[in-house]
Amino acid sequence: MFQTVANKLGLGLFMVQNDQFLWVNKSFGEIFHDELEEILLKSPIELVYPEDVHEINEFIPQFQAGEIEQCEVELRGVKKDGTIFNMSLSIKLIQFEDKPTIIGSVMDISQRKKMEMELKESKNRYKNLVENAPIGIIVHQKGIIQYANPIASKLLGASTPIELIGQPIKRFIHRQYEEIVSKRIHKVQNLGVAATPLYQRLVRLDGTAIDVETSAIPIQLNGAHAIESIFWDVTEKKKEEELIRYRAYFDTLTDLPNFHKFQLDFEEEFHRDQKLTILYIKLNGLKEIYDSYGKQAGDLVLIKVGGRLSGVMANRGLVYRMDGYRFSVVLSGEVKENELHAMVERINRTVSQPIYITNTTVEVSVQIGVVVYPQDGGEINLILHHADLAINHAKITNSLYKKYDG
Task: Quote the pLDDT of residue 46.
Answer: 92
Query: Residue 126's pLDDT is what?
Result: 66
Residue 230 lies in a domain: yes
Q: Which domain holds residue 10?
A: 2-113
Are 153 and 228 members of one domain?
A: yes
Residues 6+ apart with CB under 8 A from 368: 279, 280, 281, 282, 344, 347, 348, 390, 391, 394, 400, 401, 402
DSSP lists the bridge partners of residue 370 as 279, 403
Reported as type and span, the H/E element at residue 290 is helix 286-293
In a domain, 245, yes or no: no
170 and 309 both lie in a single domain: no
Peptide bond preceding 374: is omega within 30 degrees of 0, i.e. cis?
yes
Q: Are 216 and 262 members of one domain?
A: no
Q: What is the pLDDT, as a whole number, of residue 273?
A: 65
What pLDDT is attached to residue 1? 44
CA count, 13 A, side-chain hemisphere, 299: 8
One domain, residues 256 and 396 = yes
Strand-pairing partners, residue 173, are 202
108 and 148 housed in the same domain: no
**Please, is 145 exposed, middle or buried when counting C-beta atoms within 10 Å of its C-beta (0-12, 13-18, 19+)?**
buried
pTM above 0.75, yes or no: no
Other beta carbons within 10 angstroms of residue 149's beta carbon come to: 22
Does residue 126 lie in a domain region?
no
Contacts of 380 (CB under 8 A, 6+ apart): 263, 266, 267
Residues 278 and 385 in one domain: yes
> What is the residue-level pLDDT of the chain in tens, covering all 406 positions?
444 544 555 689 999 998 899 999 999 999 999 899 999 999 999 999 999 998 888 877 777 777 877 888 899 999 999 999 999 999 888 888 888 888 989 999 888 888 888 777 776 776 777 777 788 999 999 999 999 999 999 999 999 999 999 999 999 999 999 999 999 998 898 888 888 888 889 999 999 999 998 999 998 888 889 999 999 988 776 667 667 777 889 998 998 999 999 998 888 877 676 789 999 999 999 999 999 999 999 999 999 999 999 999 887 889 999 988 999 999 988 889 999 999 999 999 999 999 998 788 999 999 999 999 999 988 899 999 999 999 999 999 999 999 998 7
35 vs 295: CA distance, rounded Å: 75
Q: Does 174 share its domain with 268?
A: no
* Same domain as 195, residue 96: no
Which pLDDT score is estimated for 143?
A: 92
Is residue 119 in some structural domain? no
Torsion of CA 181, 187, 188, 194, to 10 degrees: -90
Q: What is the CATH number of the domain that holds 265?
A: 3.30.70.270
- Indicate the residue among 239, 258, 280 that finishes a domain: 239
Residue 155 sits in a domain whose CATH number is: 3.30.450.20
85 and 29, same structural domain?
A: yes
Whether residue 70 sits in one domain with residue 184: no
User: How far, in Å, CA of 85 to CA of 358, rounded?
Assistant: 77
Report pLDDT for 202. Answer: 94
The pLDDT of residue 8 is 54
- Shared domain for 160 and 77, answered yes or no, is no
Domains held by the chain: number: 3
Same domain for 256 and 168? no
pLDDT at 189 (0 to 100):
86
Residue 83: predicted pLDDT: 92
Which of 195, 210, 239 terminates a domain? The answer is: 239
CB atoms within 10 A of CB 64: 10
Cα separation, 406 vs 394, in Å, equals 14
Contact predicate 246/300, CB 8 Å: no
79 Cα distance to chain centroid: 43
Return the SS3 of 289: helix
